[in-house]
A and B are shown apart, each in its own frame.
Chain A
C-alpha cells in the first residue's frame, strides 16, 4: 500500500445547515403534558427511594414526580431546585442510566425505569419558562466570596451563597460563563443556548457578579483573592489535557475538548471542519461526544478506539449504544502505536496484532488534568485535596467539581460539591455572628 503525502481530508461544510440543525436538535424531545402524566404515574413512590439515594444531589425524586402527577410541575421544580439549582441542565446531561434510573425499582423489575431525567426536565422547563426565580436572597451579610470558575460547581456554590445573603464574584477564564455546560457537553443534549439561559436565570437571584476573561495565574492572583474576600471557592475544572505520545507525524491530530469547544461556539456549525475518516482515542463521555458530533457533521467513518474492553469503558452502555446507533464504530482493546499521514495504527492490546485505520482526523480524548493550583495546596490523585465539606488544605479556600478530589466528574456531582461547600462556607462566615 503506497501513500501519497497530502493534506488530510478535513473540511467544513460536509452537510447543509438544515441537516446539521435537524441532527443537533433535542436528543429527547420535551415531554408533552399528557406524556409527563403517564410517565409520572409509573413511579411507585418508593419508601427511602433508591433513586434519591443514587442522585449525587439527593433530589427527592418520588416527591417531585408525585407533584407532577398532581398537576403542580412548578412545585416539582422547586423540590428539584432546592437540591440542585442546575436541575435543568442535569435533567439533560446526567447519565441517568447509571444513576437514578439504574436503581429505579421498575428498572429492576421490568428493565424499564421511570424516565426520571425527562420528568425532571418537564418540571424544570415549566418553572423556568415562567421567567420567575423561585428563591429570594437573605438580607445582605456584608461578606464577600470569590469563586474561580463559572462552571456547575462554581455556579451552584455562588447561588447558594447568594441565597444566604453573601456577595459573590465569579471569575472565569473564558468569554462566557457556564463552564463545560457551555463549552463541553454535547450540543444535542442542550440545544437552544440552554446553558446561557440557565445561567441568566440562576443569576437573577441577585448578589452574583461574573468577571469573564480572568484566568487564575495570568491576571488573577489566588493570594489576592484570598486576602480580599472572606472566602474563596475553586471550581476551575480540569483545564489541562493528558498527553499521548505516538510515533510518527500526522497533520490532523487535536484534542477532543478543544474541537468540541470550538464546535459548541459555532452558531450553525457549517464552519466546523471534520475529517472524512475520524478516529477518536479514549473511552469516556468526551470521546463519545466528539465521535457522535463528528458523525453528525458528516464524517464518513468515525471510530472510537479504546485500549480496554467494553465493560471498562467509562462511557455508560447507554452512551456506547447511542454512539453505535448514530453510526459510530467502537473498537475495543486497541492501544494506539503510531500515526502517519492519513492513518493510525493500533496494537490489539497486549498482543502483536496490528490494526491500521484510515484517519484524516485524530482526536485525543484520554482525559483531562488539573492545570493550575497553588503550590501550597495539597494534591491527591492529581486533584485538589478536599474534605467532606470541600475544604482544601489552605484555610479559607474551598474547592469542588472536577478539580477537587472525590466523586465522579459529572455535572451533577459538581453541583452537589459546590452547594455543600457553600453551606460550609456560610456556616464558617456566620460563626459568632
Chain B
C-alpha cells in the first residue's frame, strides 16, 4: 500500500481525496460518515453571513443527463449555499474537527463583497479549529444575482480585493474557488495569486439548463411551471475542468500556485489525471452524490495500486508530471505522421468506422463485399475518428511512420520535427 498522505498548502490529510463544498458536506452527520468512509478531507458547504439563513426552493433542485442504463453523466443544481444558521454550522465544525484532528476541514465562505462581513465571518471561525478557508467565487446561480459567488469570480479585481481582506484578517490558508463561467481562467487565477491566495480550486459548476420537458415545454428542474439555469457538474464536465487546471499550471505567472482539482472526478483515474496536470489534491462531489461515500474506497485502492505499479513514493510526485507535455497547437510536430490500422482479428465488422469515415471524414476506409474493413493509407489523415467510434478497444490503432518512410497520402518522406511556427504556409513563420 503506497503512502497516500497529502499536504496541500500545509493542510494535512490521510489521502488527497476531499469532498467538495456541496450538499455532502452540509452538516456534521454527513461529514462524520464521510470521514468514517475514508475521505481525507472536506470543504464544508459554504457558510453565509450571520442572520436569517438562506432559503432554497422547495421543489426539485437537481436535473441530470444520463448515459446507457441511466448512468448519471451530468448533474445540474439550483441549490444555494447552506440554509442552516451560521451558529449551528460553527458548532458542528468545531465538534467534527475535534474528533477528527488528522482529517482536513476547510470551510467555504461567501458573504457580500465588503470588508466588514468578511472580517466578521473570519473572526467567528477562530475557535473552530478549521484548517483553512475556501472563498466561493464560483456559484453561478442564485447568489451571483446578489453580487456574490461567480459575480465576484468573473471580476479579477474583486477576487484580488476579497482575497487581500481574507489574508489580512486571518492566518488561514486561503483557497480561492474559481468559476469556469469566464473566457480565460488564467486572469482570475492571477488575481487570486496577486491577492495573496495560497491556492486556487476549480472548477465550480458551469452555467447550464439541463433539459426541457417536451410535454410542458418548461426547462428542468421545474418549479411551479418555470425553470432557472443552474450549475453543471459530474463526469460530463471533466474535460473542461482538466483544461482549466492545465491552463493555470502552464501559465508562467501562476506556475507555482497550488491547485485543488475539481470537476467530474469519479474514479482514481480521473484524480490522477487532474494531479498530473497540476492539481495538488482533488475534490469530489457528484460521484459521492451518485453512489454514496463508499466510492472513496475504490479511489484509495486504485491510486495505491497505481503508485505501487509505477514506483511512486508520494502523491506529490504525481503533481504536474503532465504539465510540460501540455502544449499549444502551434508547438505540435507537423511531421509526425500516423496511419490507422485495423486489427482484423479483433474487428467485429460493425462498420461504424466505415460509416463515420465515408460519410463525415476522408473516405479512407474500404469495405469489401464480405464486410472486411481496411484503411486506405493514401486517404488516411490519421484523424482518429475511427478509433473513437470503434466499439472494440484496441481494434483500431494508429501506427507511427518512421522518419524516411513515405506517407502514401502526400507521397513525401516523413521528416524530422517541425511545427507551424516555421511552416512555409504560415505567413508569420519565424524562419524557413
- Interface on A for B, CB 8 Å cutoff? 34, 37-38, 41, 44-50, 105-106, 108-109
Interface presence of B146 (CB below 8 A):
no
Assess whether B68 is in contact with A44, with CB atoms less than 8 Å apart: no
Assess whether A47 is in contact with B350, with CB atoms less than 8 Å apart: yes
- Can you list 7 contacts pairing A with B, beta carbon distance less than 8 Å? A38-B69, A44-B350, A46-B352, A48-B367, A50-B349, A50-B371, A108-B348
CB neighbours of A44 from chain B (8 A): 350, 352, 391
Chain A nearest CB from B347 CB (Å) reads 9
Assess whether B348 is in contact with A105, with CB atoms less than 8 Å apart: yes
4 new A-B pairs (CB below 8 Å) besides A47-B352, A105-B349?
A41-B68, A105-B348, A105-B350, A106-B348
Assess whether B69 is in contact with A41, with CB atoms less than 8 Å apart: yes
Chain B nearest CB from A422 CB (Å) reads 31
CB neighbours of B367 from chain A (8 A): 47-48
10 tightest CB-CB pairs across the interface, nearest first? Answer: A47-B351, A47-B355, A109-B348, A41-B68, A105-B348, A46-B350, A44-B350, A105-B350, A38-B69, A46-B351
Assess whether A45 is in contact with B352, with CB atoms less than 8 Å apart: yes
CB neighbours of B68 from chain A (8 A): 38, 41
Cβ < 8 Å to A, chain B residues 62-87: 68-70
CA distance A106 to B352 in the complex (A): 13
- Interface on B for A, CB 8 Å cutoff? 68-70, 348-352, 354-355, 367, 371, 391-392
Chain A interface SS verdict (over half) = helix
Assess whether A34 is in contact with B349, with CB atoms less than 8 Å apart: no
Instruction: With A44-B391, A47-B355 as known contacts, state yes or no: A108 contacts B349, CB within 8 Å.
Output: yes
CB neighbours of B391 from chain A (8 A): 44
CB neighbours of A48 from chain B (8 A): 351, 367, 371
Interface core residue of A34, A105, A106 (most chain B CB under 10 Å)? A105
CA distance A106 to B349 in the complex (A): 10
Chain A nearest CB from B212 CB (Å) reads 14
Chain A nearest CB from B294 CB (Å) reads 24
Which of A34, A37, A47, A106 interacts with B354 by CB under 8 Å?
Answer: A47
CB neighbours of B355 from chain A (8 A): 47
CA distance A320 to B249 in the complex (A): 64
Chain B nearest CB from A384 CB (Å) reads 33
CA distance A105 to B395 in the complex (A): 14
CB neighbours of B348 from chain A (8 A): 105-106, 108-109
CB neighbours of B371 from chain A (8 A): 48, 50
Interface core residue of A37, A49, A109 (most chain B CB under 10 Å)? A109
CB neighbours of A49 from chain B (8 A): 351
CB neighbours of A47 from chain B (8 A): 350-352, 354-355, 367
Chain B nearest CB from A45 CB (Å) reads 7
CA distance A216 to B351 in the complex (A): 49
CA distance A420 to B52 in the complex (A): 76
CB neighbours of A46 from chain B (8 A): 349-352
Q: Which residue of B lies closest to A106 (CB)?
A: B348
Interface core residue of A34, A46, A106, A108 (most chain B CB under 10 Å)? A46
Chain A nearest CB from B265 CB (Å) reads 25
Q: Which residue of A lies closest to B359 (CB)?
A: A47
CA distance A45 to B389 in the complex (A): 11
CA distance A108 to B347 in the complex (A): 10
Interface core residue of A34, A44, A50 (most chain B CB under 10 Å)? A44
CB neighbours of B350 from chain A (8 A): 44, 46-47, 105
CB neighbours of A41 from chain B (8 A): 68-69
Chain A nearest CB from B365 CB (Å) reads 10
CA distance A38 to B69 in the complex (A): 5
CB neighbours of A45 from chain B (8 A): 352
Q: Which residue of B lies closest to A38 (CB)?
A: B69
CA distance A276 to B391 in the complex (A): 52
Assess whether A34 is in contact with B352, with CB atoms less than 8 Å apart: no
Instruction: With A44-B391, A109-B392 as known contacts, state yes or no: A34 contacts B70, CB within 8 Å.
Output: yes
Q: Which residue of B lies closest to A41 (CB)?
A: B68
CB neighbours of B351 from chain A (8 A): 46-49
CB neighbours of B392 from chain A (8 A): 109
Interface core residue of B349, B354, B392 (most chain A CB under 10 Å)? B349
Chain B nearest CB from A364 CB (Å) reads 41
Interface core residue of B350, B352, B355 (most chain A CB under 10 Å)? B350
CB neighbours of A106 from chain B (8 A): 348
Chain A nearest CB from B408 CB (Å) reads 24
Q: Which residue of B lies closest to A46 (CB)?
A: B350
Chain B nearest CB from A369 CB (Å) reads 37
CA distance A105 to B367 in the complex (A): 16
CB neighbours of A38 from chain B (8 A): 68-69
Chain A nearest CB from B345 CB (Å) reads 11
CA distance A52 to B121 in the complex (A): 68
CA distance A38 to B391 in the complex (A): 16
Chain B nearest CB from A121 CB (Å) reads 20
Chain A nearest CB from B125 CB (Å) reads 47
CA distance A48 to B354 in the complex (A): 10
CB neighbours of B349 from chain A (8 A): 46, 50, 105, 108
